[in-house]
A = this chain, B = another copy of it.
């Protein structure tokens, strides 16, 4: 079984974006603020948006199940206040839930949170609880920078974030650490801000003792861990300077990297440097890089091809494809077992 742990609903029907644009207009002019019930998307429209896109590519490429969350770049937690984020999160999470109900063997939902800059993260708990208890979400996406590129929240090691972590531990769910759109002109969203956030989050964990406070907390750092595996020697050396334990003891019981690295040499480095137990298969398809690589004739984001060609044993490839995901997402494992898988 091949589980893609990183998929976003990037192909939602246009009505969603139109509703969002009205909501953004409504921040300035309450008279035009739409109601959630104004958004009408039928099951057929959802089905079509998936069958023609993610499901088609999953079938072509041979992956079985996608952990599916709202479009990362559209979370845009910096827009409006908490209520704007709360309404928008509820709508986006409901759509991913409906997709998972329409294709229960192929999509399982992970939740975005109604984060808002400067607002206590504990305000996200009710949406998180609903998504887990009512929608069967098996993980969340946590944005370490809800400002969208201004980085004015405390680091992930700060107690600011502990209410989220306490709930994650209670529910035994991991978080993918994933920023959203950059509204800072210095940072291109998918070419700089995403990768910077991955590296930043990793280093915030490295310099802290967060996982002493939460030994069972689990973070997935997407996009192959940003710059971390490429600079693994640097990070090992920095941990040493800071008198921290070896990274494998200090961080690798709690941090996992996905395989969203869009060329063979990158995946080769990832699988060589990072213990296989800490690597989860993912493509972030259909996402930032949708084209065909002229050097290979295949989609850049068809990461399964790279994992197939990486120098790992079949037993290790099983861990990357399925075994690790079942361990990192215990609620997914239970749901699969309940369906005899």
Q: Choose the segment among A33-41, A192-200, A329-337 that binds chain B (4+ C-beta atoms closer than 8 Å).
A: A192-200
Of the candidates B154, B223, B231, which one forms a contact with A224 in the assembled complex, judged by CB atoms under 8 Å apart? B231
Of the candidates B207, B288, B295, which one forms a contact with A188 in the assembled complex, judged by CB atoms under 8 Å apart? B207
- Could you tell me if A288 and B234 are in contact, using CB atoms closer than 8 angstroms? yes
- Could you tell me if B229 and A200 are in contact, using CB atoms closer than 8 angstroms? no
- Residue A340 lies at the interface, judged by CB distance under 8 Å to chain B: no
- Residue A211 lies at the interface, judged by CB distance under 8 Å to chain B: no
* Known interface pairs A230-B229, A289-B238, A293-B236; A265-B273 also in contact (CB < 8 Å): yes
What 1/0 flags go to A210-247 for Cβ under 8 Å of B?
A: 00000000000001101101111111111011000000
- Could you tell me if B230 and A203 are in contact, using CB atoms closer than 8 angstroms? no
Q: Compute how far the CA of A295 lies from the CA of B229 in the bound complex, rounded to whole angstroms.
A: 16
- Residue A187 lies at the interface, judged by CB distance under 8 Å to chain B: yes
In the complex, what residues of B have CB within 8 A of residue A206's CB?
Answer: 188, 191
- Residue A186 lies at the interface, judged by CB distance under 8 Å to chain B: yes
Copy number in the complex reads 2
In the complex, what residues of B have CB within 8 A of residue A188's CB?
Answer: 203-204, 206-207, 238
Q: Compute how far the CA of A190 lies from the CA of B242 in the bound complex, rounded to whole angstroms.
A: 12
Q: Compute how far the CA of A10 lies from the CA of B17 in the bound complex, rounded to whole angstroms.
A: 52
Report the minimum CB–CB distance from A159 to chain B (whole Å).
13
- Residue A263 lies at the interface, judged by CB distance under 8 Å to chain B: yes
Q: Choose the segment among A48-56, A58-66, A133-141, A143-151 that binds chain B (4+ C-beta atoms closer than 8 Å).
A: A143-151
Instruction: Rank and list the top 3 A-B pairs by shortest CB-CB distance, nearest first.
Output: A233-B263, A233-B262, A237-B289
Question: Which A residues have a C-beta under 8 Å from some C-beta of B?
Answer: 144-145, 149-151, 153-155, 184-188, 190-192, 195-196, 199-200, 202-204, 206-207, 223-224, 226-227, 229-238, 240-241, 261-266, 268-269, 272-273, 288-291, 293, 295, 300-301
